[in-house]
Structure 1
């Protein structure tokens, strides 16, 4: 769903453009721009993407940033990637497919 690589930064996985856009903000509610709204509408129109995003949100949203960092550091995509390296789509897909993607 991203056009750029996911990076293994010190505190967890990062999409650099998302990090740069929201850096230093405690809440993004007031920072939602037209592109973010268009992205949201695209996600809502695609049932497969919508289901994956909603499942991930439901699963991870109650957790704190510190809890998420600790968790990512225990998961295979993180453990298989050097710091500042690219976490490949194949590693992510293979790790999470059994957790978040329903077989059709």
Structure 2
């Protein structure tokens, strides 16, 4: 599985939500991406996103996603995430909608499974879930905003959850 821009993962979740007539608030999007990244690290062993996760007051946050969607407040996101690159030939900014590679079945399956498992939760409920004692956020948050939650901590947490779920089946 490749790792992607968090915006590509956001666009994958937005596409799934649109297919089902569901909405995703910015807080819910943060948590869905974090959960997909965590389960990817825990099950596949690969990071889904290529940006660090930070521990903020309301849980794990991916800064580029915060900046992209903060203007929606607590309302559903109504537009895809975009990335800009400077075009040296035209001296203009080119706009691109980042996507998960069509042939990356592992990433698509992971995102679909996370969507199926968590789509009925609100952003607040997912925030509560990620705030549980001994979660990577709980172990990392110190009241400051720029604290990175190490991928190794996230991976160990989701490996443990995966083992517990396997035993419980």
TM-score class, shorter:
0.7 to 0.9
Q: Computing the radius of gyration over CA atoms, which structure comes out larger, 1 or 2? A: 2
Q: How many residues align?
A: 97
1:82 positional shift: 2.3
Pairwise CA RMSD:
2.3
Q: Which residue number corresponds to residue 54 of structure 1?
A: 112
> Deviations 1:40-70 (Å, cap 9, x if unpaired)?
4x2x421111111111111112111111111
Unpaired stretches in structure 2, ≥5 consecutive residues: 1-47, 83-94, 164-169
Displacement after TM superposition at 1:94 (Å)? 1.9
How far apart are residue 4 of structure 1 and its match? Answer: 1.9
The structure with higher relative contact order (CA 8 Å, sep 6+) is 1
Alpha-carbon distance in structure 2 between the residues aligned to 1:31 and 1:50: 17
CA distance in 2, matches of 1:93, 1:72: 14
Which structure carries more helix by proportion? 1
Residues 31 and 47 of structure 1: CA distance in aligned 2, closer, same or farther (over 3 Å): closer
Aligned partner of 1:22 in structure 2 is 69
* Distance change (3 Å), C-alpha of 1:68 and 1:79: same
Unaligned runs of 5+ in 1: 100-104
TM-score computed with the length of structure 2 as normaliser: 0.50
In the TM superposition, what is the alpha-carbon distance from 1:77 to its structure 2 partner? Answer: 1.0
Query: If the length of structure 1 is used for normalisation, what is the TM-score?
Result: 0.77
